[in-house]
Amino acid sequence: MNPTRIICLASSTPLPCSIYNPSTNAPCGKPAYAAYASEWEEPNSPTAGRWIIQPVCQECATAAAEVYQ
């Protein structure tokens, strides 16, 4: 398993935060200017080099950092 990286989204239009919010049973949805990124691991794939990104807002990133200190 490859480590997750945190990347800066170089865009003037943010993506919606995709972190699940259990109180609303939906993604957070706040503006996200950063994302968690991890390499897609699929052996013998003809499209090697794919990445998965999960946009994360400042509030959700801070909450995650507090949990995983």
Indicate whether 1 pLDDT > 60.
no
Element (H, E) at 67: helix 58-67
Structural domain range at position 57: 5-67
Indicate whether 60 pLDDT > 70.
yes
CA 27 from chain centre, in angstroms, equals 12
How many domains does one find in the chain?
1
The tokens describing 2, both together, are 């490859």
Residue-wise pLDDT for 6-43, tens only, equals 878 877 788 999 999 888 999 999 999 999 988 887 77
